[in-house]
């Protein structure tokens, strides 16, 4: 099979011919139809995350082994399966849940495999969907797809799923105003999900006017370009000078976190999602005085993915897919995402 693989950080992906895996027991081999190009693929390609103060967290120190095939937002058809598989048939169209855990730690035991102590995520710790085929270790990680377009459905495994759990965390105590920072793949899903599952007015922030226009089309009530130094004042004014109940930061870099903290209302809730990284200094007394919550959100669990699939089936959320690439164009797809040329999501159709 043909796979686009990262051999070492920042080097072009190689298009390699590797042996197609054969499924055993509970395993299922999926013929990939469409795979989303996520900003996390860029972090994997760059070799890690910016921790701030000149520190860098290498993905190889977290268990990633190169060469690795990226791609965790996978839709495909069942090609072949092991003897222990039931409930699916050859040719079924499926969405793959990629956030696979060990099955034994406290998180896995309550169904939150996405928060596993020793994750085995597809497209990160094991080969993913930038490939003709992908091997899935257990059929319980598949969700049958019907009534949702293949390209659009890819988003439901990561960008949509992450937005869904992050917005659920932001939706405490009936928020009046939710601010969404970043109108990329995740943020645009965040806007749609926030409009679908909360009663809040949604304010969206980005550096790019074209992305903000799309956010408005997706239902954002107010949009602001944070290149404008008065963005914080403008948001405060929209929020009746009290601030936002929740801020969901899909960028999570020093300027966005500073903005988030500045516009957060008393009792407010800051949900950090993006992995752009860096570090900030916190003024400690404001945290108890304002009694704010700062929390993280990382992808979502299988049940959340199935709930989201239902919202997509009903047409409540519509992932924006603006560009399609062949597998041979995997490098261009990543370069275009890095250069911020993609509205919503791009997909690769191997
Ligand atoms: P993307 O590249 O599609 O979108 C990022 C958006 O942020 C762009 O619209 C860009 O213009 C905007 N932006 C960048 N810097 C900004 C700034 N300083 N102020 C305002 N806007 C700014 O990326 P994506 O796929 O949406 O992913 C976003 C981040 O979330 C990435 O770091 C990705 O790795 C991470 N991520 C986290 C999880 C999780 O579970 N926590 C899951 C998937 C992705
Ligand atoms: Zn992702």
Tell whether ligand 1 has an atom less than 6 A from the beta carbon of residue 215. no
Summarised one tens digit per residue, pLDDT across range 255-285 is 999 999 999 999 999 999 999 999 999 999 9
For residue 154, the ligand closest to its alpha carbon is 2
107 with 128, same domain: the answer is yes
Tell whether ligand 1 has an atom less than 6 A from the beta carbon of residue 88. no
- From atom 39 of ligand 1, which residue's Cα is the shortest distance away? 298
E strand spans, the chain = 2-5, 14-17, 28-37, 48-52, 55-58, 73-81, 93-96, 133-136, 142-144, 177-181, 201-206, 222-225, 244-249, 264-272, 293-296, 321-325, 345-348
Residue 36: predicted pLDDT? 97
Residue 173: predicted pLDDT? 87
Residue 192: predicted pLDDT? 95
CA of 223 to the centre of ligand 2 (A): 24
Whole-angstrom distance, CA of residue 85 vs CA of residue 69:
25
Instruction: Please state the length of the chain.
Output: 350
Residue among 189, 201, 190 nearest 154 (CA): 189
Q: What is the pTM of this model?
A: 0.94
CA of 179 to the centre of ligand 1 (A): 15
Q: Which two tokens stand for residue 112?
A: 């939150």
Residue for token pair 């793959």: 96
CATH number of the CATH domain containing 233: 3.40.50.720
* Count of domains observed in the chain: 2
> In percent, how much of the chain has pLDDT > 90?
96
- State the pLDDT confidence band at 53, using cuts at 50, 70 and 90: confident
Residues of the domain holding 306: 2-158+300-348
13 with 153, same domain: the answer is yes
Tell whether ligand 1 has an atom less than 6 A from the beta carbon of residue 273. yes
For residue 186, the ligand closest to its alpha carbon is 1
């Amino acid at each position: 099979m043909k796979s686009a693989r990262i051999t070492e950080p920042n080097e072009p992906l190689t298009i390699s011919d590797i042996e197609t895996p054969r499924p055993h027991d509970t395993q299922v081999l999926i013929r990939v139809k469409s795979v989303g190009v996520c900003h996390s693929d860029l972090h994997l390609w760059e070799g890690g995350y910016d921790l701030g103060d000149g520190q860098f967290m290498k993905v190889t120190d977290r268990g990633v082994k190169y060469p690795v095939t990226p791609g965790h937002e996978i839709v495909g058809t069942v090609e072949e399966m092991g003897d222990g598989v039931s409930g699916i048939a050859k040719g079924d169209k499926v969405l793959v849940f990629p956030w696979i855990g060990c099955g034994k730690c406290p998180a896995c035991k309550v169904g939150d495999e996405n928060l596993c102590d020793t994750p085995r995520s597809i497209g990160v710790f094991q080969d993913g969907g930038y490939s003709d085929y992908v091997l899935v270790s257990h059929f319980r990680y598949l969700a049958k797809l019907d009534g949702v377009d293949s390209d659009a459905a890819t988003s439901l495994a990561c960008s949509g799923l992450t937005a869904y759990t992050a917005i659920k965390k932001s939706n405490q105590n009936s928020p009046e105003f939710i601010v969404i920072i970043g109108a990329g793949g995740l943020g645009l899903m965040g806007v749609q999900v926030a409009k679908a599952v909360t009663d809040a007015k949604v304010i969206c922030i980005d550096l790019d006017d074209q992305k903000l226009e799309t956010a408005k089309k997706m239902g954002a009530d107010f949009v602001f370009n944070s290149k404008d130094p008065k963005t914080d004042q403008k948001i405060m004014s929209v929020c009746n000078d009290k601030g936002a109940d929740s801020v969901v930061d899909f960028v999570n870099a020093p300027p966005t976190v500073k903005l988030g903290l500045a516009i957060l209302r008393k009792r407010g809730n800051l949900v950090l999602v993006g992995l752009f990284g860096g570090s900030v200094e916190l003024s400690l007394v404001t945290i108890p005085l304002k009694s704010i919550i700062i929390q993280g959100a990382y992808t979502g669990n299988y049940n959340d993915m199935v709930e989201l699939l239902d919202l997509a089936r009903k047409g409540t959320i519509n992932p924006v897919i603006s560009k399609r690439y062949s597998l041979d164009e995997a490098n261009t797809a990543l370069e275009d995402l890095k250069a911020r040329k993609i509205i919503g999501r791009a997909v690769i159709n191997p």
